[in-house]
Structure 1
Amino acid sequence: MLSRLSNQLLGILRLAIVLFVRLPYWTVTSLPSWSRPRPSWSLKRTLLVYFFQSTLSLGDAEPVTPNHKAIEEGPGVKASWVPPVPDLIRGDVAKWAQEAGVQSERVPGYWFEKKGLDILPGAPPRAGEKVIYSLHGGAYTKMSAHPSNLVSILRHGLMEHTHSIQRLFNIEYRLATRVSNKPVYPFPTQLIDAVAGYNYLVKDVGFAPENIIVTGDSAGGNLAIVLIRYLLERKAAGDINIPDIPSALLLFSPWVDLEVRQHNPNSSAIRNIPSDYLNIAGQDFILATSYFMGARPLSEAASNPYISPAPQSSAVKPTGYFEKYPRTLIVCGGAETLQDQSHILHKKMVADLGAENVQLVEYPDAIHDFCVCSWHEPERSQALELSARWMEDES
């Protein structure tokens, strides 16, 4: 209790320093456009990026709320409980879960819908109705699926720009953390919950897999990719109870390489540190990765495709991993530290699926996961409109 209070007071002090010391300094030094991380940026965008750089914390173990333990009610909030699926967890994932001491549990999921609609949570789909299955970002340690959370700005945005797609389901998967220096909900907890949410949409609600688009941002993009890998592998193993894969995969700034290593100075991980709020080479991010890995060695991230589906290293075979994946759209920013990861992922997917089935769209001066930033215009609206058109394309 005392430790939590100390952390809260420290957080207040840090925020005060940012607002009353750093912000005035940034304002003065950023007045000339040439002094900003990107000369094309407005002063407002520059200051907001600096603010997030100074305040974002992924590596602390403070509990996040709302979380998987309860449905947080509120005006317009619609939610469903997703039942556990212990019988669907098999193979290596079951072995890793046993080693980590985790199992499938009931978790919530939140429904988003087009403005003006009032659809009951979990209502059966109309004939041919499409739905978006969403996996949120936050380095597997932060953020929430709740409609009020920062990363839900992306989900609201998708619903604003779609036309025929009326619903989105955002699963509240369990977040990795540490308690008394012991791993809590490490890998593969999040994959287990993602499988449960997808199975719920298919088996309980009644959506056909060919009418489901899976989307994820940042760590949620990682989770979306490995969810499809798991569905494919269980189908290949003859598991008749596992649902078929979705029709499409939409990724925003996916985090696909979790290997902790020294980065090349010319890589986006280093080159774009000044222009992004996310520093994947920093200690804070390494700590978040260790929470996710739990008791597993960090070195395993380079070789386990369920942890790093598109690593820079050659530890995972360069071709074949993405065979049978659905058509895919990758959206990323040219100013983000994960820029190279999106390009490597695109290259690997094209090798397996062909260029006609994989599209990479990069916004040159956009930061990491910019569609969760309501102020990141015009790129945010452009990317959301593009994504909506792509999802509703029947080709």
Structure 2
Amino acid sequence: MKFNIDQQMLTLSYISYTGYCLAGSDKHNARKIAPKIVEDLALELPTANKWRLVWGPAVSELFLSIFDDNMAYIVQHIEKPNCFAVVFRGTNPVSLSNWIDEDFFVFRKDPWMLGNKRIPGAKISHGTNLAMRKVKKLEAPSGVPGAGTTMLQFLRIQSETQNKPLEVYVTGHSLGGTLSATYGLFLKQCSGNQDIPVKERWDPTGKAKITVKAFAGATAGNRAFAEYSDKLLDKKTMNRFGNSLDLVPNAWSNETVKTWPDIFKPVAKPNWFFDLFIFQAKLASLLTDYTQPQASTPLLPGTLSEPCKTYFQQTIYQHVVAYPILLGLEGVLDPVKYFPILKDVLPCFHDPKGVEVSA
């Protein structure tokens, strides 16, 4: 059975959640996660005999966090040695600081930079900017592939040693989807650019091909940022995948946020907690002009899960469970393997008679 590149990238994105609940030091956790990623790459059908781990993983945590907040790794295509995939983990489900500091810190926006220069008018949320600063500094620790290098340093070495220009995919799910879109843009604007600090140069010839495969990512920046991104990454190279019933890729645009109260009807409606959350989201969308890159990209048509009777259950289902189904990986990529908590919070995993209905 053959699997297309979108299916492979989604699988790599889900594999990135391996070990999210570890509570040790960054280096210790990275060393424990690395062999599990190697195992998952071999066991998952879309990645088996196609990709191998060559950098990382590297993990980091925010101040006073118990669990890791960010993780990334890089794989190399086995048959095409000049082809790599940079993979970002999404929001850590058990890290409160990850949710507060990187996902929901959207009322303040920071300038988007090209080296030491600001791109006029282009801004991203402070939370995304914080996450970007962290992942740029991630360094593979001793005991894992690529030890002692950052992702950019590793890619620079590859660009100098491979016989062909690099083909680099940048991918991730949820927060990883947001980061893949922003880090992919960062790679593109630095490729072949000599007017930036030496530490940000990685592709001297500017011939590397960069393709973003962003799944379920929230909007990173404002309209000027999206317009700048669209100039560098067209629809062929900026591929966004969003479920029409997933709240996250619908954040934080005013046009989409206003649909949230009724998005899961007739199966579920928000309670008082989600009413407060929706109010915050509407306020953020009214006070800002957040816009997705390649905003005209159509969302994938989602379906409601009939067994999931609460707004919370539908939110989790649409953000996590739906994507393997929508990408044609139902029965192949098991979300419960990477999110075991789904068995406890979603009735569709313990109700054999549960069925889905069209939205």
TM, length-normalised to structure 1: 0.33
Structure with the higher fraction of residues in strand conformation? 2
Q: Which has the larger radius of gyration?
A: 1
TM, length-normalised to structure 2: 0.35
Question: Which structure ranks higher in relative contact order (CA pairs < 8 Å, sequence separation ≥ 6)?
Answer: 1
